[in-house]
Structure 1
Amino acid sequence: MATCSVRWRSSGGRGEFEYVPADSLLDRQIEIFLEDMNLTIPAEVYGMKAQGKPRLRKQDSNNRSKLHLPQLVMAIARLPSPAREDLTHTVTFPLRSGSFVMDVMDFEIIADDGMTATLEPLRVSVRNSDYSINLQDRIKAIAADLSNLAEIRAKHPALAAAIEAHGAALAAQENSSLIRETADQVNELQEAIFGLTNAASATEMEKAEAEPPVEEEEVFGVEGRLLARIHVYKERDKGFALRVKKYYKTKNGGKLVCEVCGLDPVAKYGANGERCLEAHHKIPIEQLQPDSVTRVEEMSVVCASCHRIIHSQKPCIPVEDLAAALRAATAATP
């Protein structure tokens, strides 16, 4: 099926939303489809043209109980509420409500009868960053929480009640500020229990809580302990690490080297040398979506020594930055 995107555009301070391609949502009412919950929520938003430019408009612009399309999707996905004005031109992670501006939200158009376009959320990016959130992964995680309510209730009854209330607000299949209010309640309770993580899934955070602590938690402190733990355990998944190495080995013509220092472990240590290479998650710990599926393209291959240096500070040193610093230091050495 076709795809379309909704973009934030600065306009008169508060900003507005345009859609592309320019004819994709023109004269269409919009509804949101959540496959993992089998729900369809009318957005009460339509596509039109203002001074020849494709724009989204609420059916009732004065009704504050109705969310605009991007705010509705963010509330469905239990993400913090984005601001409508880009005042600071900066963004910090994990995200907090009102501290960031949505840049682009992508959708798949799964149905279009010429009057109504049914959209499935795919991903959203954050302005002033290269940060992108997979919305399908988040909605799948939220559906999993709703299936695991009894297990969550056994340890965190208030959190389970909030998750259930958010699920009920979605099940009403109506654009309502109640979706945002219940999403905020879930996020506040999860933050109190697990720290600020932007996690969609309490189930995944419980799994992380049950894992042994990792050394990196000393760098990221109590607030970031579970994100650090999830990050490290994703990297230590032996089966996934092997897939990452295979992917990059194929991509690089059968050779694996450290992406930071260029170490060729087979040339240096022999046939078993690849064991000193490790998989590193390129997404910074603060930006990690705990319940997202990790993809091989999000990983780097680095040697154990470089990996330790990457994790030695908060935020982690980007692979490219450490590689550049090492090249500069090498060039400066007589």
Structure 2
Amino acid sequence: MDEGLSPTSTPDVLSGTRGRLGRIRLNRPRAINALTTDMVRAVRSELARFADAGVDAVWLDGAGERGLCAGGDVRAVRESVLAGGDEATTFFEAEYAMDAAVATSPVPVVAWMDGVVMGGGVGVSVHAGLRLVTERTRLAMPETLIGFFPDVGALWWLARCPGRTGTRLALTGATVGGADAVALGLADRLVASDRAAELVERAAAGERLTDVGLGAAEVSSPVLAEASVLDPLLAGDDAAAILRRLGVGEHPLAAATARELAARSPWAVSVTLAALRRAERMSTLAEVLDQDRRLAPRMAAHPDFAEGVRAQLVDRDRTPRWTHAGLDDVDPAEVEALFP
């Protein structure tokens, strides 16, 4: 298939039109399409252009075989913070504006969420009009592992997952597959990964794709099956109390979840829980994105972010030295001060 995609304002985002379908492709395959400021601006610009282009839908995907998008380029954000620059704030503002544009696009966005969909990759897809996952999808918001919080408006959706499954995903950064994503409300349909070209052609011919694949009532979700064990342990606003309950739980799953939680930044886990509980009370995605805008620069400036990115992505020693020894050492007043 001749895809007819061309560079936009950056070669890292390609765009084109095929029949009744607009196309946007993230194009940094060696970095699993990790987002830069230029990329998020280009995606937003192309969405605005397609709104006036007479297309029926916009298909958004990622180049390469590894996935849609591994997130934002957090190493670049870290370098900016360490250098005392304001590029990090610029990136967050542009990224969240793109996420809002996906959510409010007058032309429905079809997000092809194949392979890795993490962090900023969730932001560029979970707000789309039609979210298609596959058997290869690996979706997560793993930010607490790098001293950050699940941003990009993801808390809007995690706060509305069944039971406390969203709390589990937000605090531990657990990775879920395509079936879980549909069952939890983070995607709409589960389709085979080899159907992308077929679906593009059908959409280009003007067909609406809302009924392709399997919906929530037709998939089996391992995460939902585990909710009966974990949900009672994940209740409440006290992260330290949650960890204690998980640690003394009799089920092996509780112990495993406790180990995952204990490996995350205590500061980031505490802030994430507070932000998630606030998101549960918010009535619009815009409110959650506003909360993200306030929190992101402050979280990026905290020592745990630079240390978490160092440990996971720079030195890769996987031994971060967090500011707090544990969740009991995080002052609730310090967390509360982040929220006006």
Q: Structure with the greater relative contact order (CA < 8 A, sep ≥ 6): 1 or 2? A: 2
Work out which of the two has the higher radius of gyration on C-alpha atoms and give 1 or 2.
1
Fold agreement, TM-score > 0.5: no
> TM-score w.r.t. structure 1 length?
0.29
Structure with greater helix share of residues: 2
TM-score w.r.t. the length of structure 2 is 0.29
